[in-house]
Amino acid sequence: MLGCLLVSLSLDAIPPEPPTGMRWVIQEQYSDEFEGNKLDSRKWSNFHPRWKGRAPAMFVKEAVSVKDGLMRIKNGVLKKPDGPYTLYGGAVTSKTDGAHFGYYECRFKASRVKMSTTFWMSGGGGDVLDTEVEGDTYRQELDIQECVGGSLDSESPGFRKQMHANTHFWYTAPGEKSRVSYPRGAVTDLSSEVWEDFHTYAAWWVDGTYVRFYADNEFYEAVHIYNEVMDVPMPDPMQINMVTETYNWQPPPTAEELADDSTNTSYYDWIRSYSLVPLMEKAKGKSYPHAVYEEEIVIEPVPAEYAKGQPLKLDFAYKANGERKIRIDVFRWDGKKKKFLQKEEFSALRGYGKGTKELELDFKPKPNEAYGIRVSLRDGQEVLDSVIESVKLDPK
């Protein structure tokens, strides 16, 4: 039964449609398909640099492994207790804390024990510079998904059946030692419980004030971050975290539950992170070596009329795993054959882009004649995808 669940088909996942003139480009440093047989040490640590874990479970490096295209975090009982810690989970954290505004998504299946399976971001912060009183500080946290596959009905069943997202503005007031969290979150139901199937959890961190949340590729809620201390409460880059831990609002799993290898492990299929860049600007950093898009080109309906002497505007969107070309062919169609009148080609840089192309017509359209426009996405001479739009092009 377990083997069948682990080879379930991966859901295609893509960022939301980008704004016109922009494109989503995958951030290689914060993306991973978890192939091979070990964690990529260039990107990830198998521990948390600033946190031992919440008792009674501590993070141990040995809990983390990679096998069969999945990153795994196994939960268990410590052979020797360590102070208040008697159990263990695991933490995988990004080597750098430079993850900033963008789209972050992760596909995973939770364990079925009373420990969390999570995907979140933390860090940033410092002095609150826009207040008159010195000595106060802030920190940031963006929880994209916190779930507990073994949560009991009498505790918090939603953590077993929902996507629980949150934003935290952590604030330490002048003269105080303890920091206080000001959360604003979002919750939605899932199609199955978190331990039954893989689900995709995502957040579009739009800017320092605003986040949009997505479950299984569907947008469900936008959150405006608490801003009564700072106008822009989440401005800084952060670290990415994927951890399993115990919570203080429910009893921890028993030794018997943790001994069951069919339910004690969380499985991460992949994590992908994207940033928005201008449509025709070369992306910085390494190219991602994996294909994440089903490559395609789409166009908006072409107006049947255009202003004489003015360029024809063509709205388009494309998805490309590498550097490509978009070619536009304009032709006359008499019902039997095409007579090609002009063509134009321009670059489509890797990513998911949306733009507008102004096409200067090299011919004078004739009233009541049928024309067509073919737009194709190409890798050299190979046509990866194309679309044809019929249009009259009657001058007005």
Catalytic hit among 33, 105, 141, 245 = 141
Q: Which helix (H) or strand (E) holds 256?
A: helix 255-258
Residues 6+ apart with CB under 8 A from 8: 197, 198
Whole-angstrom distance, CA of residue 149 vs CA of residue 263: 9
Long-range own/partner contacts, residues 205-210 (CB < 8 A, 24 or more apart):
205/100, 205/101, 205/102, 205/103, 205/104, 205/121, 205/142, 205/234, 206/101, 207/101, 207/232, 208/101, 208/232, 208/233, 208/234, 208/235, 209/233, 209/234
Residue 240 · residue 142 · CB < 8 Å: no
Catalytic hit among 33, 35, 105, 146 = 146
Residue 281 · residue 371 · CB < 8 Å: no
| Structure-token match 């919570």, residue found | 247
Amino acid identity for residue 51 in this structure: W
Among this protein's residues, is 360 annotated catalytic?
A: no
Among this protein's residues, is 141 annotated catalytic?
A: yes
Residues 6+ apart with CB under 8 A from 335: 370
CB atoms under 10 Å from CB of 320, counted, come to 25
**Exposed/middle/buried for residue 146 (C-beta within 10 Å: 0-12, 13-18, 19+):** buried
Dihedrals phi, psi of 159, to nearest 5 degrees: -70, -10
Q: What is the 3-state secondary structure (H, E, C) of 43-87?
A: CEECCCCCCCCCCCEEECHHHEEEECCEEEEECEEEEEEECCEEE
Which positions are annotated as active-site residues? 141, 146
